[in-house]
Amino acid sequence: MGLTAPLRRSLARSALAGLPKPSESDLREIALACWARDEREFQQFACDYLIAHGGVPGPDFLATLAELITTKSWWDTVDPLATRVVGGLVTRHRALLKRMDEWSTADDMWLVRTAILHQLHYGAETDTARLFGYCAAQAGHPDFFVRKAIGWALRQFARTDPEAVRAFLAEQAGRLSPLSVREAAKHL
């Protein structure tokens, strides 16, 4: 379709004006319908819609998110789902941490990326053992998007605790990819 993000969001606001708050079932149905469309803007709209209503779904919605993350996967949909939807869901439903642990070692690189990034906006609430554990476990991952996620997650956490990130980078010297280290150390 070729719509810019601002235009797409403006059109979405107009189309959704006055509609009631969706249920979890509505969110699932809309997201899956958007994912079934060929045009990328529909998947991007679904991400925006899920973010806007992030407080609605319960823990069972993680299965729907896994389907979205592993279907038509690309960073432009995986990242907002990971950082804004999965992250919020895990915060509200701590039992889902077990699933993040599972995803952090999954065969699907997009699930691994999601596990690494889900705490991106947690700041001081970041579970450093999990963050560093996930990054260390995937230090040698062959995929660019996982290596980039490691660097991004560490760089973001360095805003909260730069000394912890410096120590982790020193501890992992030679194990992390140059891309991960460069991204993590960008503002240190």
> Where does a domain end: 64, 85, 118?
118
Same domain, 101 and 138: no
Neighbours of 134 (CB within 10 A): 26
* Angle (CA) 178 184 188, round 5°: 120
CATH number at residue 51: 1.25.10.90
> Where does a domain end: 70, 89, 118?
118
Tens digit of pLDDT for each residue in 10-19?
Answer: 888 888 899 9
**Who has greater pLDDT, 93 or 18?**
93
Same domain, 114 and 132: no
Mean pLDDT calculated for residue range 72-98:
97
Q: What's residue 135's pLDDT?
A: 98
Q: What's residue 60's pLDDT?
A: 98
Buried b (16+ CB within 10 A) or exposed e, 151-166: bbbbbbbbeeeeebbe
Same domain, 113 and 145: no
Same domain, 170 and 109: no
Of 7-16, 31-40, 50-59, 71-80, least confident by mean pLDDT is 7-16
Same domain, 148 and 176: yes
Residue 78 CB burial class (10 angstroms; 0-12, 13-18, ≥19): buried
Same domain, 2 and 77: yes
Range of 174's domain? Answer: 126-188
Q: Whose structure tokens read 């925006």?
A: 48
Residue 76 to residue 82: CA distance in whole angstroms: 11
Of 24, 116, 30, 34, give the one whose Cα is nearest residue 62: 24
Average pLDDT value over all residues in the chain: 96
Residue 68 CB burial class (10 angstroms; 0-12, 13-18, ≥19): buried
Same domain, 76 and 92: yes
SS3 content of the chain, % helix, strand, coil (to 5): 70, 0, 30
> Where does a domain end: 75, 98, 118?
118
**Who has greater pLDDT, 8 or 171?**
171
Counting the structural domains of the chain, the total is: 2
Of 11-15, 44-48, 67-71, least confident by mean pLDDT is 11-15
Q: What's residue 6's pLDDT?
A: 86
Mean pLDDT calculated for residue range 135-162:
98
Same domain, 28 and 87: yes
CATH number at residue 143: 1.25.40.290
Same domain, 87 and 131: no
Mean pLDDT calculated for residue range 128-133:
98
Mean pLDDT calculated for residue range 59-64:
98
Q: What's residue 155's pLDDT?
A: 98
Q: What's residue 15's pLDDT?
A: 87
